[in-house]
Amino acid sequence: MTRAQMPDPSGPNVRFKQLGQPLRRTDAPGKVSGKTMYAGDFAMPGMLHAKVVRANLASARLRRLDVSKARALEGVACVLTAADMPDRLAATDIPGQTGQKRLKTDSQILVRERVRYFGEPIALIAAISRDIAERAAALVEFDLEPLPGVYDPEEALKPGAPLVQGTDNCVAEHKIRKGNVEEGFARADFIVENTFRTPFQEHAFLEPEVGLAWVDENEVVNIRVSTQVIEHFRSIAEAIGVPHNKVRILGALVGGGFGGKEDLTVEVYLALLARHTGRPVRLEYSREDSFVGHGKRHPFKLTYRTGVTKDGKITALDVRAIADAGAYVYLSPYVLLYCAVAAPGPYRVDNLNVHMRAAATNNMFTSAFRGFGGMQACAAYEQQMDEIAKRIGMDRLELRRRNLLETGEPISTGFVPPSAIWTDRCLEQAWAALGEPTPSHGSLRTGRGVAVYQQSYGRLTFLHDSSEAWVGVEVDGTVVVRSGVTDIGAGQASALGQIVAEVLGVSLDNVVIYNSDSAVTPLAGTTTATRGLYMTGNAAKRAAEAVRARLVARAAQAFGAGVAEVELAFDKAFRVDAPERSMSFVDLVKLCASEGIHRSELAMFRAPFTDFLDPETGQGQAHPDYTFGAHAVEVSVDIETGEVRVLKSVGAHDVGQCVNRAAVEGQIEGGAQNGQGYALSEEMLYREGRLVTPSFSEYLTPTSMDMPKVQCILLESRSGIGPFGAKGIGEPALTAVAPAIANAVADAIGVRVFEMPITPERVVRALQGR
Amino acid sequence: MSTHRPVVLTINGRTETASFPAHRTLLEALRELGHVEVKCGCEKGDCGACAVLLDGVAVDSCLTLAWMAEGRQITTVSGLGSADAPHPLQQAFADSGAAQCGYCTPGVIIAAKSMIDRNPDPSEEDIRVALSGNLCRCTGYVKIVEAVHDAAAVMRTPGDRK
């Protein structure tokens, strides 16, 4: 579809009863009073405590493993090694997917022979106390023969490099070809080339990985676990060799996810130990375990070569990038794909050439992290835009205005997003909100930066995503929502309640949401990929609308009116044209119940289903839709110490339609924090694959003293494909923060630091090299 | 292993007795006694998730030994109020959306209570300093700072003081 054919998708300014308001979330009272039980807060009679024994080298061969002393320790119930189990693998491919073929990337559960990363699990222990489990771990004897390792993804792709995965360490490759870049560069007045480096990042959720498993009277392995993905029951079942219906995941409210609880964490270890001992087993990672126990954000090296005319029109773009996949593949192919699709950003680039590869190394494996490749692309394309503006002598915002995609235009893959593209409005409003500039003084130089972005919401469309939800009305007029959705802190469950309450015209207090139980709540898919509200929200809305239709039909009959004339609102059914003709919601429900009218519905929502993108040109549909927005910051840089402080931080996003305004703001405020840490202070230092910063003393996430008061600007085009025109905001909130900060630092000191995090050392070095 | 000895702890106004070894931290002891509202985030005093009041002052319970808490008043977030009868801090945190994943919330509320008891009319800077030992990964601290500010105002109102 071309722009001319596409009608303005933005929706009217509708009036909702409660949707969009900052209602108190259903999970709030329990959390603030300490009543909420997280996965680690459960215990069972006879429960054992588990411990994972890990490799202390990153590349090695296991020569000898002797667990006899550990097994002999009093109080130890079980010590498991690879020798104690069939040579099964655990899935590391797209979690929770349904029926789709997996890539051949499954990994060993425990080291059998080859150690590929520092911290790779070698043995599992279950004992009657945590103290004894730790003492037993110290009694496990193993000899590791060091093998040559490779710790730089570029080195890993060279012929003769130590092999970590496959035949050449290349675990993923993605290309996009559009137009003719040679012609585009020939028409350019300037060609600007820069290389940007982005770092590892740790999710740093406050709740470390934890779970409790037991085998019940039906031989079902039950696992209550902190996870984003209850659908892992399938891959756990395959890993331990039982049918899918013999594993049940009970989620709990999750103490932070950010992608770090998207892959399997403790589940398979728990399942194995519970089956071997026949007793309940609890495993809680220490913070250090957590640092070495789950995948990180992929570091990228991205080289951008842009052709541009003197009036600021981009004529060609060539992007080369290489990502560090670490020791196992995990979600690297998908992260790489996201990065490639996002490579040109929300800009009109007719002549485009993208080539990206992900290389296996002996570093920690890398996988899902909020932003998922799209963020690394943004870090590069938005710094590149500022460098182009500087080179051609054009205002940074003006350069962007001249190239921004507008509604109805295709993105890099040729796909036209079905929703509005309001990047321009977000850009202007974020920038304007910075207000009066803070003057520089002494050694403090202030500077400003802005970045715009395009970030998908919803899963890759070739994964054929679907979501189910159940809505029912009890005879006392209370409402029940059942959805497998995991709530990782964004208010995923509460949002479903608010949507259903809006549709049925009841207050949120009347709704209870039962969620995240793979055996009894309809599977919602996963809480990943900014899909929760889009997919599960649509499924819940659909179920609520079906219930509503039956209630309204009965009320219309009672009122002697057509169904279009009946409204459900304020806990009542009434005639729109004669509101005095009304019936309480409770009476209507009782009436329906007495007549056997079906008061519940199980609904499914399906995302668009597509084939894989063209492997040579990368053209086609990758995602259901995209969110667009901007982030602007003001910083001060101390040119004597190199310290950067963020003074102002503004996110402006077209969220389509707020469901819970406070929750949306919370995503943007938290995104600003996560992006600020990524840009400035969060540094994972690896020495030959060994993490030397495995605690919050060394790995510095922003504190209350580091954060400014983040300002949120919410635009509502009501054009999204989520419920009521909503778009996703979980990942988009974060995407543009880091490049905005990098641009502000460059603005402040007149020289760019091309590698994040922009630590004081790097700032001083850049100033010295100026 | 060190010897166990009975320890008498006063938790949220009630006396509880249990046997602990010398190396048992107050965090571990409280959780073993069922006070799982006290959260474990790092066990190194970096994150503040395990904060409790010890004689009215916020401490990291992971850096306090259970034996050393004997004879002192221990208050957890559940001791301040309940879901039905919330403390003004709990009310403000719920109303303003200051709890997202909620895992840091018990410790943050304890740190805020400790500060407000000494500084009933804190500035934004005072609040940020007081909470600087409590890591949060979800909120950017925006709504947390607002909630503490709002709660302090409620707590200054005569009759509502807790």
Question: What CATH number is associated with residue B152?
Answer: 1.10.150.120
Q: β-strand A210-215 against A466-473: which pairing, if any?
A: unpaired
B69 and B104 inside one domain: no
Three-class SS string for A282-302?
Answer: EEECCHHHHHHHCCECCCEEE
> 190-229 in A: which are within 8 Å (CB) of B?
203-208
Tokens standing for residue A371: 């932003």
Answer whether residue B83 is part of any domain.
no
pLDDT in tens, A242-255: 999 999 999 899 99
B69 and B97 inside one domain: no
pLDDT in tens, A260-272: 999 999 999 999 9
Q: How far is A487 from chain B (nearest CA, A)?
A: 8
Q: pLDDT exceeding 70 applies to what percent of chain A? A: 99
Alpha carbons A60 and A75: distance in angstroms, whole number: 31
B121 and B72 inside one domain: no
Query: What is the CB neighbour count within 10 angstroms for residue A509?
Result: 12
Determine if the peptide bond prior to A162 is cis (ω within 30°): no
Give pLDDT, residue A455: 98
The residue among B33, B35, B62, B100 with the most chain A CBs within 10 A of its CB, best to mutate, is B100
Confidence band of A5 (pLDDT split at 50, 70, 90): low
| pLDDT exceeds 90 at position A566 | yes
Give pLDDT, residue A1: 42
Answer whether residue B122 is part of any domain.
yes
What residues does A603 pair with on adjacent strands? A469
As a whole number, mean pLDDT of residues A15-25 equals 89
Alpha carbons A76 and B25: distance in angstroms, whole number: 23
Tokens standing for residue A1: 């579809």
Contact A41 B36 (CB under 8 A): yes
Tokens standing for residue B56: 């009215």
Tokens standing for residue A130: 């945590």
Q: How far is B31 from chain A (nearest CA, A)?
A: 8
Helical H segments across A180-304, by residue range: 181-187, 233-240, 267-277, 287-293
Answer whether residue B17 is part of any domain.
yes
What residues does B25 pair with on adjacent strands? B65
What residues does A247 pair with on adjacent strands? A221
Task: Tell me, yes or no, if the pTM score tops 0.95.
Answer: yes
Confidence band of A97 (pLDDT split at 50, 70, 90): confident
Alpha carbons B98 and B94: distance in angstroms, whole number: 7
Grouping H, G, I as helix, E, B as strand and the rest as coil, residue A193 is strand
The residue among B101, B109, B110, B128 with the most chain A CBs within 10 A of its CB, best to mutate, is B101
B3 at A interface, C-beta within 8 A: no
B137 and B93 inside one domain: yes
Answer whether residue B162 is part of any domain.
no
Distances, alpha carbon A290 to alpha carbons A309, A694, B42, B109, B129, in Å: 49, 9, 10, 25, 28
Answer for the pair A517, A523: CB distance below 8 angstroms, yes or no: no
Answer whether residue B131 is part of any domain.
yes
Confidence band of A138 (pLDDT split at 50, 70, 90): very high
Q: β-strand A221-225 against A247-250: which pairing, if any?
A: parallel
Query: What is the CB neighbour count within 10 angstroms for residue A365?
Result: 26
- Would you say the C-alpha torsion A227, A230, A235, A237 has a positive or negative sign? positive
A258 at B interface, C-beta within 8 A: yes
Which of A260, A250, A249 minimizes the C-alpha distance to A289?
Answer: A260
Distances, alpha carbon B121 to alpha carbons A378, B94, B107, B146, B149, in Å: 42, 21, 20, 13, 8
Query: What is the CB neighbour count within 10 angstroms for residue B123?
Result: 10
Confidence band of A12 (pLDDT split at 50, 70, 90): low
From B48, which residue of chain A is nearest by alpha-carbon distance?
Answer: A206
Grouping H, G, I as helix, E, B as strand and the rest as coil, residue A228 is coil
Contact A705 B128 (CB under 8 A): yes
Which of A593, A508, A589 minimizes the C-alpha distance to A548?
Answer: A589
Alpha carbons B56 and A55: distance in angstroms, whole number: 44
Alpha carbons A491 and B145: distance in angstroms, whole number: 20
Beta strands, E only, A343-457: 352-360, 444-457
H or E segment and range at residue A481: strand A479-483
A498 at B interface, C-beta within 8 A: no
**CB-based burial of residue A661 (10 Å sphere; 0-12 exposed, 13-18 middle, 19+ buried)?**
middle
Of B78, B106, B127, which marks where a domain is finished?
A: B78
Amino acid (one-letter) located at A287: R
Tokens standing for residue B22: 């010398």
Answer for the pair B20, B7: CB distance below 8 angstroms, yes or no: yes
B86 at A interface, C-beta within 8 A: yes
From B141, which residue of chain A is nearest by alpha-carbon distance?
Answer: A704
Helices A737-749, A374-392: inter-axial angle, 10-degree rounding: 30
A286 at B interface, C-beta within 8 A: yes
| pLDDT exceeds 90 at position A100 | no
Torsion of CA A13, A17, A20, A21, to 10 degrees: 130
| pLDDT exceeds 90 at position A6 | no
Phi, psi of A488 (to 5 degrees): -100, 15
Give pLDDT, residue A88: 84
Alpha carbons A88 and A240: distance in angstroms, whole number: 7
**N-to-C CA span, chain B:** 43
Q: Collect all residues with Cβ–Cβ distance below 8 Å to A351 and sequence separation of at least 6.
A: A178, A179, A180, A181, A183, A184, A185, A307, A315, A316, A317
pLDDT in tens, A196-237: 999 999 999 999 999 999 999 999 999 999 999 999 999 999
B60 and B101 inside one domain: no
B107 and B44 inside one domain: no
Beta strands, E only, A566-624: 566-569, 572-575, 582-584, 600-606
Give pLDDT, residue A13: 61
| pLDDT exceeds 70 at position A691 | yes
Answer for the pair A15, A655: CB distance below 8 angstroms, yes or no: no
As a whole number, mean pLDDT of residues A733-748 equals 98
Tokens standing for residue B149: 């500010």
pLDDT in tens, A311-365: 999 999 999 999 999 999 999 999 999 999 999 999 999 999 999 999 999 999 9
What residues does A60 pair with on adjacent strands? A115, A146
| pLDDT exceeds 70 at position A240 | yes
A410 at B interface, C-beta within 8 A: no
Measured between beta carbons, the chain A residues lying within 8 angstroms of B27 are none
Alpha carbons A591 and A600: distance in angstroms, whole number: 15
Structural domain containing residue B134: 88-156
Of B51, B78, B105, which marks where a domain is finished?
A: B78
Q: How many CA atoms lie within 13 A of A46 on its CB side?
A: 9
Helices B88-96, B142-156: inter-axial angle, 10-degree rounding: 140
Q: Collect all residues with Cβ–Cβ distance below 8 Å to B20 and sequence separation of at least 6.
A: B4, B5, B7, B29, B66, B67
Helical H segments across A125-192, by residue range: 130-139, 153-156, 181-187
CA A484 to the chain's CA centroid: 18
B12 and B70 inside one domain: yes
Amino acid (one-letter) located at A324: D
- How many separate helices (H) and strands (E) can be counted in chain A? 19, 30
Give pLDDT, residue A162: 98
Give pLDDT, residue A39: 98
Q: Collect all residues with Cβ–Cβ distance below 8 Å to A360 and sequence separation of at least 6.
A: A156, A164, A165, A166, A169, A170, A171, A325, A326, A327, A328, A329
Q: What is the mean pLDDT of chain A?
A: 96
DSSP state of A475: T
Tens-digit pLDDT profile for chain B (162 aa)?
A: 568 999 999 999 999 999 999 999 999 999 999 999 999 999 999 999 999 999 999 999 999 999 999 999 999 999 999 989 999 999 999 999 999 999 999 999 999 999 999 999 999 999 999 999 999 999 999 999 999 999 999 999 876 544
How many residue pairs bridge chain A and chain B with CB atoms within 8 Å of each other?
183
Of B78, B103, B122, which marks where a domain is finished?
A: B78
Grouping H, G, I as helix, E, B as strand and the rest as coil, residue A320 is strand
Answer whether residue B45 is part of any domain.
yes
B40 and B60 inside one domain: yes
Confidence band of A171 (pLDDT split at 50, 70, 90): very high
Answer for the pair A118, A689: CB distance below 8 angstroms, yes or no: yes
Tokens standing for residue A731: 């990942």
Alpha carbons A745 and A622: distance in angstroms, whole number: 34
Answer whether residue B64 is part of any domain.
yes
B47 and B9 inside one domain: yes
Contact A35 B83 (CB under 8 A): yes
- Concatenating the DSSP letter of every residue in A591-605 gives HHHHTT---EEEEEE
Alpha carbons A362 and A366: distance in angstroms, whole number: 11
> 608-667 in A: which are within 8 Å (CB) of B?
660, 662-663, 665-666
Amino acid (one-letter) located at A276: H
B126 at A interface, C-beta within 8 A: no
B36 and B11 inside one domain: yes
Answer whether residue B161 is part of any domain.
no
B116 and B97 inside one domain: yes
As a whole number, mean pLDDT of residues A459-470 equals 96
Distances, alpha carbon A295 to alpha carbons A27, A113, A258, A559, in Å: 28, 21, 11, 59
Grouping H, G, I as helix, E, B as strand and the rest as coil, residue B146 is helix
- Specify the number of domains making up chain B: 2
CATH number for the domain spanning B23: value is 3.10.20.30
B34 and B61 inside one domain: yes
Give pLDDT, residue A2: 47
